[in-house]
Structure 1
Amino acid sequence: MISATVSKLLNYSCVDGPGNRMVLFLQGCNYRCKNCHNPQTIDMCNQCGDCVPSCPTQSLQLTTQNNKPFVVWDMSTCTECDTCLTACNKQSTPKTQQLTVADTLALIKDNLFFINGITVTGGEATLQLPYIIALFQAIKSDPTLQHLSCMIDSNGSLSITGWQSVLPYLDGAMIDLKAWNNTTHRWLTGRDNDRVLASIKWLSQHQKLYEVRLLQIPEITDYKQYIDDVAAYLITLNESIRIKLNAFQHHGVTGESLNWATCKKDDIEVLAALLTERGVTNLVLPSVYV
């Protein structure tokens, strides 16, 4: 039975795609973004057990599974104080659960009358692609669920072959374009952006791209520096695609990015004006800056 390592589940969200959505946050990411606001989702827990003594509610236990150490998390007693995260030298979370496709379908059915769709995010969701494909296929094959839209929130690093495999069951993808210049992108994330640009283009051509996200970090991201190239690229996409401008804030970040300037409303409005002047439409700006 195909399963996924899930770090968090939101029964209802109105910011992770159209309508009210159930959101699955899968553990593990292939990027190392300096500004990651969920750094605890990057690495998989290595079951070392260092976090267990730190838990004030004894919600973590070090056991064995298949003759190997294994940390068990009791979500019923956990208060989400996150003391375990500070105890981990990898800054990884032990607070994950394994969900099979059947488990996930049961959770969806419990909330069926309150949601318009499912969004799988991360971490980087596509690192657990077999689970996503099996889940989406099961949803589309079930007469009681097939009306739900199935979406992926991704950094865009998946190969075109990977996108092709999920395409028959995918309703839309939301892709982060974290920087335009490859050097800047590599410095910020640890990876090149060639695949990101290819993913955006391919998904647009197949009418599966819902949204492109640009995260404005003052003096860090380079959209303004390469504004003509960025705009020229964006206007080649289907005009129905949302171009969402996000404003960098300190919420959830660690390390050097805590010293970076946050993005103000004026910063976003300047970027939006520059894109609009060059023919980019369907811009979505933040409703709050916190």
Structure 2
Amino acid sequence: MNAYYNSIETFGAVDGPGIRLVIFLQGCFLRCKYCHNPETIAFTKEKQISVNEVIKLYEKNKNFYESGGITLSGGEPTAQIEFCISLFKKCKELNINTCLDTAFSTFHNIDKVKEKWIELLKYTDIVLADIKHIDNKKHLDLTGKPNEEILMAVKFLDENGTKMWIRHVLVPGYTDDKEDLIRLGQFIGTLKNMERFEILPYHNMMIPKYRRLNMKFYLDGVIPPTKEYASKCKDIVDSGMKSVLKIMN
């Protein structure tokens, strides 16, 4: 089983627990205005990697991955879901921790994709769930796609008992509205299997990539948030979570 990929990070420290081997698969259905990896968007077929080649890369630096494992990211890894299933199944045979970094853009027509997702989740230890925006209209403007099925996917994973780290990129003027952050907190406050919530501050270090790729960048005037502002916004999300938990308890 082969997959098309863009790049490989051998010592990833932010894509799941511990130090990890991270494979960035090629292709994504979303068109996020702040995409940090625009080179992974197109469904190009320039580079292939097999399940066995990924395992060999892992074995090469196995000692460094003692408290980590393998992460599939992208792009959208589940655009190549058969590969994800094949690799993670092999990882479980070898007792390798597995992590899926996804924005759920393949979770549509649920009756058609449900079985594949259930199969994948059987071999997935943790999911990094990227919620772009809680408001459907703003999500559509920000990513080019609505969010109903994405939020449905998060709920589906939660009901499946899948451990999740919920992530939200904080983009000033786009994803930092107070009421939206409260609603986001209220949504994730209903999840039983969320282990962690992270605010990821927007940065503009990817702008040179857009220029090299001759791609339009939509957020030229956006200034990255300070740590203090990101912390303040996380507190707002936390307040939304607590309000739901208080009612549930």
TM-score when normalising by structure 2: 0.84
Partners of 1:262 and 1:97 in 2: CA distance: 33
- Note if contact 1:184-1:222 (Cα within 8 Å) is conserved in structure 2: no
The partner residue of 2:196 within 224, 239, 242 is 242
- Note if contact 1:200-1:209 (Cα within 8 Å) is conserved in structure 2: no
Deviation sequence 1:134-156 (CA, Å, 0-9, x none): 11111212xxx21x211100112
Partners of 2:50 and 2:69 in 1: CA distance: 18
User: Any residues of structure 2 matched to 1:1-290 within 5 Å, and which?
Assistant: 2-45=1-44, 96-115=46-65, 116-141=68-93, 145-146=94-95, 148-159=96-107, 161=114, 162-221=116-175, 223-238=177-192, 240-253=194-207, 254=210, 255-280=217-242
**RMSD, aligned α-carbons:** 1.9
Partners of 1:110 and 1:153 in 2: CA distance: 23
Aligned residues with identical type, % of pairs: 30
Deviation sequence 1:199-222 (CA, Å, 0-9, x none): 211222223232111111111115
Partners of 1:189 and 1:120 in 2: CA distance: 21
- Note if contact 1:210-1:241 (Cα within 8 Å) is conserved in structure 2: yes
Q: Please report how far the alpha carbon of residue 175 of structure 1 lies from its aligned counterpart in structure 2 after TM superposition.
A: 1.1
The number of equivalent residue pairs is 227
Give secondary structure in 2 for the equivalent of 1:258: coil
TM-score when normalising by structure 1: 0.73
- Note if contact 2:187-2:241 (Cα within 8 Å) is conserved in structure 1: no
Q: Which runs of 5+ in 1 are unaligned?
A: 47-95, 282-290
Partners of 1:227 and 1:45 in 2: CA distance: 35
Q: One-letter code of the match for 1:276?
A: D
Please say which structure displays the higher CA radius of gyration.
Answer: 1
Q: One-letter code of the match for 1:40?
A: E
Q: Which runs of 5+ in 2 are unaligned?
A: 211-216, 244-249
Q: One-letter code of the match for 2:230?
A: I
| Higher helix proportion (structure 1 or 2) | 2
